Amino acid sequence: MKGIPRQSSGHLNRRSRKVLLLTVVLFGAFVFAEIALRFFLPAPARWRIQPAELSTSGSVRSSVVIPTHPSQGGLFEIRGVHKRLRTNVDAVIAKHKLSGQPVRISTNSLGLRHREIGPKNCNRILFLGDSITLADYLPDDLTFVRLVEQLASKNGRDWECINAGIGAVGLDSEVALYFEIEDMVDPDIVVLNLYLNDFSDSIAWVDRLPAVLHHSYLVSYTTTIVMQVRALLADDDPGLERLDDWRKDFEESLNSKKGPPTPLERQALARFRDWGGAWSHHTWDAMRPTLEQLATDTEASNRRLLLVLHPVRDQVENLEFDDTPQRYFLDLAADLKLPALDLLPPLREAHATDQQPLFFDHCHHSQWGAEIVAGEIYRALDLLDM
């Protein structure tokens, strides 16, 4: 049996010294970068979670402090494959970047922006949707979901309106949430609030940092950069490749039509992966199976389903009237034999008449916009013989 060469321990010692030296260098570089960032850059946005009171269901609640937007952490999580609001949270957004207001968001044990759901003793309406429905930039009593409930109360009707909106999700996630909670909520009516980009989920998902790394400027800023790069590299997603094919088809249709594309059509082409995709029939064809599944389930459960389409701001404020997505939407709803509400006409009328800002940005409703939307949805629900 051969002995171990005498050089082996020397090699190991040299390797250990190299590893130790590399560790010291990397740690020194980390410390240097951390000090430099703290000296030259402002503190990154932070979240914090701490134990708080018990909810009415008996589970421990958490309090979350967020500087300007829920995507800065603490309020959302991934459950399974879908983005969801965290359960039993009291969140305070100190100064929301859209409304400039302090906003409190409380979630129940189902992860909904609603009080704890108790025994059913009135008509119950479940509102599905994205950030437009969640309206995390407005106090709860000013969201259009709560305003519908208030209108019902003023008219002597006992409705419980439940906000199941989630920021930056699409139709598949919204309907998946319905199937997760339908038995526990047991709604009489489901109001599906669609926006023009609901054919896909948003890729602007911000991960939450582990607590041990949370106070590091370097880690915080690096994570932000990585998330932005990840969004840019999402071009490799097969779903986005399909969107590119649809975009090319839409561009060809614009080039082949008589006359040049309108300004709104050019914007739709430029923003195709966002709201512009709604100008293509392909995106509506892709959503059909999910809508059919939802329609089948609600009918089997003896529930009513109302489809609502929220427009992009440019459609509302542009002198040029272009309702291409709305026509696709109404045709699809008619084909599925579902009641549908197109919010573009009343919002355009309100804009032309009152000149009050209806939006905070390209799609999220201001307080005045929420009041217009609530009134239209209330009237549509009234027609369903609630």
Mean pLDDT of 343-364: 95
Mean pLDDT of 286-292: 96
Question: CA-CA distance, 168 to 162, in Å (whole number)?
Answer: 19
Residues 106-116 have pLDDT tens digits of: 999 999 999 99
Question: Which regions of 286-385 does DSSP assign to beta strands (E)?
Answer: 304-310, 340-342
Q: Is residue 234 very low, low, confident or very high in pLDDT (cuts 50, 70, 90)?
A: very low
Residues 25-38 have pLDDT tens digits of: 888 888 888 888 78
Mean pLDDT of 181-200: 96
Predicted local distance difference test score (pLDDT) of residue 83:
85
- 375 found inside a domain: yes
Check which CATH number belongs to the domain holding 147 and give it.
3.40.50.1110
Per the structure, the complete domain to which residue 364 belongs is given by: 121-217+269-382
- 99 found inside a domain: no
- 142 found inside a domain: yes
- 240 found inside a domain: no
Query: Are the C-beta atoms of residues 335 and 342 closer than 8 Å to each other?
Result: no
Phi and psi torsions of 362, nearest 5°: -75, -15
Q: How many domains does the chain have?
A: 1
Predicted local distance difference test score (pLDDT) of residue 325:
98
Question: CA-CA distance, 54 to 195, in Å (whole number)?
Answer: 36
- 325 found inside a domain: yes
Instruction: Provide the sign of the torsion angle of the four alpha carbons 282, 327, 176, 135, taken in this order.
Output: positive
- 181 found inside a domain: yes
- 370 found inside a domain: yes
